[in-house]
Structure 1
Amino acid sequence: MTKAVVIYGGNSKQSRLKGIFDRAEAYFQQEGIHTEAIFVHDLPADDLILARFNSEPVLKANEKVEAADIVVVLTPVYKAAYTGILKTYLDLLPQKGLVGKTVLPLVLGGSFGHLLAIDYALKPVLSALGATNILSGAYVLDTQVEKKEDGHYELTPEISQRLDQVLALTQEEAGRYLALR
């Protein structure tokens, strides 16, 4: 069975980023892909900031990544790059922690001015962690995700369709990549 982990690099579950997370999780569940999540902001801040590689919560998070075939890296854009929260966790992954994984970056931003954050900020770090199968990913504008009064998030039809397409491609790529191993 294919396994996925979503690394959530935002600072809150009350963000539009959660709408993208919910869509990815629902897609994987619908496809029968076992999915786990790492909400980086829920990991102990001291462990992240002080780079405690032997922290039990960090080790458990790393085990989720190690067991996964698909790693979705989900982050908002802050200052033209991914979040510092995400970086603190990525620094605690083993040096080659993404070897053999199909990696999908999903980024939420306020304007198309930061569209290249995926290619120029995030992908080099993922590559340094051993990822060789990094997909193009998707950049979502925050205006394409609306928080409803009941607390759930609604994505525009165009972004829902685009996310479904990149998630389907991720599933296909993971299958091909696993077959080569």
Structure 2
Amino acid sequence: MAAILSVSGSPSPTSRTTRLLRHLDDRLRRQGHEVTPLEVRSLPPEALLGAHFGHPSIVAATELFARAEGVVIGTPVYKAAYSGLLKSLLDVLPQYALAGKTVLPLATGGSTAHVLAIDYALRPVLSSMGAAHIVPGWFTLDRDISADGTGSVLPPAAAEALEQVTDQFSAALGGRTGSLAAAG
């Protein structure tokens, strides 16, 4: 199956965006994909903000993008756009870091007023970075993402929508989705 990089652009250590991504990662792994998580907040701020392209952590992140066949980009929405933290990472990556990749954009936010941030803020930059295919993204309200002792909990409608988006992404990568649909 495909090698997938799952990127959280949230600055929060208790991020609902990251929680949502890890929920999605589990589904992708069950479909047979190899998923590598990357939390941008774990990268050194001085390397990101100073655009230190040769910093070992930036080089390592760039290599993760290069090895991935698919990339999931998750971000909270702030001021009707993706996070500044995510922007700082995208700025230090090579111009065509997403060339030949299938990309799934995800966003979380406090209001449905932010739902268009994926199409009007995030999708254009992903396209400019050479993404071969950007599958339809998904926006989830913060209040719909909670946690229990085993992971994320989503209301049934939100969980079903996220499963469909994940399955479309997997299919675009050439993955199988039917076995989970039958089992779930």
Task: State if a TM-score over 0.5 links the two structures.
Answer: yes
What secondary structure is seen at the aligned counterpart in 1 of 2:174?
Answer: helix
1:57-96 to structure 2, matched below 5 A, reads 57-96=57-96
1:19–1:155 Cα contact (<8 Å) kept: no
CA distance in 1, matches of 2:22, 2:38: 13
Paired residue for 1:118? 118
- After TM superposition, list the pairs within 5 Å mapping 1:1-181 onto structure 2: 1-148=1-148, 150=149, 152-175=151-174
Shift of 1:146: 1.7
Instruction: Read off the aligned partner of 1:142 and give its amino acid letter.
Output: D
Q: How many residues align?
A: 175
- Separation in 2, partners of 1:151, 1:12: 20
Distance 2:66 2:135 in 1: 18
Whether the 8 Å CA contact 1:40–1:89 is kept in 2: the answer is: yes
Following TM superposition, by how much is the alpha carbon of 1:37 offset from its aligned partner in structure 2, in angstroms?
A: 1.3
Over the aligned positions, Cα root-mean-square deviation in angstroms equals 1.4
List alignment gaps of at least 5 residues for structure 1: 177-181
Matched-pair contact (CA < 8 Å) for 1:19–1:154: no
- SS where residue 64 of structure 2 aligns? helix
| Per-residue CA distance 1:95-145 (angstroms, 9 max, x = gap) | 111011000000001111111100110011101111131111100011111
SS in 2 for 1:122: helix
Deviations along 1:63-116, one digit per CA (max 9) or x if unpaired, are 111111110000000111000000000011111110110000000011111111
The 4+ residue runs of structure 1 with deviation greater than 3 A are: none
- Identity, in percent, stands at 39
TM-score by length of 1: 0.92
Q: Is the 8 A contact 1:16 1:142 kept in 2?
A: yes
Gapped regions of structure 2 (runs ≥ 5): 176-184
Give the CA deviation at 1:151: 8.3
Instruction: Give TM-score scaled by structure 2 length.
Output: 0.90
